[in-house]
Amino acid sequence: MLQPLQLLQPTTVGDASRALAEFGDRAKVYAGGAELLLLLRNGLLDAEVLVDLKKIDRLHSVKFESGLLRIGACVTHRELADHALLRQHAPALTYAESQVANIRVRNQGTLGGNLAFNDPHSDPGTVLLIHNSSVAIGNDKGEQRIGLAEFFVDMYATALGSGDLLLEIEVPALPDGMKSAYQRLHRYQRPTLGVAAAVQLDGDKIAKVRLAVGCVGPKAQRLSELEGKLRGVTLADARKIMAQEKKYLRELLRPVDDLLGSAEYKLYMTGVMLGDVVEEASATLED
């Protein structure tokens, strides 16, 4: 059962941040509530005050300016899965958003809530990493921007400090000639594994590649070292290299045995699906 809660609905970032400072640990940021209300209902979190961000207009906008998609933190997964600007400038993100959970969660949950919660079994963060995305964090004193890789600190931990709000996600369009894809493996609603790739070919060789993996370890990660080994090789050779990189993937991703599968299974599938997603991104180049 949920205890009665006081609901504050500030209309500016400054007011929201001041409310968080005033109530301290007794207050929680509330966006869609898909995660937060579950935690409160199950007694995993305590709160007396919810600071609802949905009345802050700027957190609902989606714009494309100077090669950059700017997505407000309170835009829902469903809005993003249907958004023309996303389809045009970040199609793999459109696909990832369309795969989140089910229509109820996509209607309710926001991209900002997803990233701020940083559940390891999430979809959008993995694609956002191959776009070299950044986030804007703000409070009543100002704003700063940091890379998403730096924002994701660990499982359920981010660079947000107390009183901080995640305001905006900045997603640079991929360089001309580079195409992307996202694939996920799931047994339940939340993904067991998510892989994202952006690829540019030069003839039959890989000229540029970006790779990211989510869900296997505590947080979504770019695979920068592996990217370096794929430049200048054919797709067939890239697939072999990725399947052989178990040691590197194990050390970077730190997989664990859990209800979704054994660590060995997840590592094996990561190698296979990285090959698949690189191939899918490359096939998109011929469209």
Ligand X SMILES: Cc1cc2nc3c(=O)[nH]c(=O)nc-3n(C[C@H](O)[C@H](O)[C@H](O)COP(=O)(O)OP(=O)(O)OC[C@H]3O[C@@H](n4cnc5c(N)ncnc54)[C@H](O)[C@@H]3O)c2cc1C
Number of residues that bind ligand X (CB under 6 A): 33
Using CB under 6 A, which of the segments 106-114, 138-146, 170-178, 233-241 binds ligand X? 106-114
Q: Does 116 bind ligand X (CB under 6 A)?
A: yes
Q: Does 30 bind ligand X (CB under 6 A)?
A: yes
State the Cα–Cα distance between residues 72 and 60, nearest whole angstrom. Answer: 5
State the Cα–Cα distance between residues 58 and 80, nearest whole angstrom. Answer: 16
Q: Does 190 bind ligand X (CB under 6 A)?
A: yes
Q: What is the DSSP string of 147-167?
A: EHHHHEEETTEES--TT-EEE
Tokens 């004193």 identify what position?
Answer: 141
Q: Does 214 bind ligand X (CB under 6 A)?
A: no
- 1: three-class secondary structure by DSSP: coil
Q: Does 183 bind ligand X (CB under 6 A)?
A: no
Residue closer to ligand X (CB basis): 53 or 223: 53
Residue 76, C-beta contacts closer than 8 angstroms, at least 6 positions apart: 32, 106, 107, 108, 109, 110, 111
Q: Does 280 bind ligand X (CB under 6 A)?
A: no
Residue closer to ligand X (CB basis): 6 or 244: 6
Candidates 204, 35, 57, 221; CA nearest to 111 is 35
By the 8 A CB rule, do 126 and 217 touch?
Answer: no
Using CB under 6 A, which of the segments 23-31, 200-208, 261-269, 278-286 binds ligand X? 23-31
In the set 23, 64, 117, 268, which binds ligand X (CB under 6 A)? Answer: 117
State the Cα–Cα distance between residues 176 and 144, nearest whole angstrom. Answer: 28
CA distances from 268 to 144, 252, 282 (A): 39, 14, 22
Q: Does 215 bind ligand X (CB under 6 A)?
A: no
Q: Does 100 bind ligand X (CB under 6 A)?
A: yes
In the set 17, 94, 108, 282, which binds ligand X (CB under 6 A)? Answer: 108
Residue 31, C-beta contacts closer than 8 angstroms, at least 6 positions apart: 52, 53, 54, 73, 74, 109, 110, 112, 113, 116
Using CB under 6 A, which of the segments 128-136, 158-166, 216-224, 278-286 binds ligand X? 158-166
Q: What amino acid is encoded at 71 in this protein? A: I
CA distances from 282 to 70, 119, 270 (A): 26, 29, 18
In the set 19, 20, 27, 28, which binds ligand X (CB under 6 A)? Answer: 28
State the Cα–Cα distance between residues 88 and 228, nearest whole angstrom. Answer: 28
Using CB under 6 A, which of the segments 2-10, 86-94, 110-118, 278-286 binds ligand X? 110-118
Minimum CB separation from ligand X for residue 206, in Å? 28
Residue closer to ligand X (CB basis): 50 or 252: 50
Q: Does 138 bind ligand X (CB under 6 A)?
A: no
Q: Does 160 bind ligand X (CB under 6 A)?
A: yes
Using CB under 6 A, which of the segments 17-25, 159-167, 252-260, 271-279 binds ligand X? 159-167
The number of CA neighbours under 13 Å toward the Cβ of 90 is 35
Q: Which residues bind ligand X (CB under 6 A)?
A: 28-36, 38, 53, 73, 100-101, 105, 108-110, 112-114, 116-117, 119, 122-124, 160, 165-166, 189-191
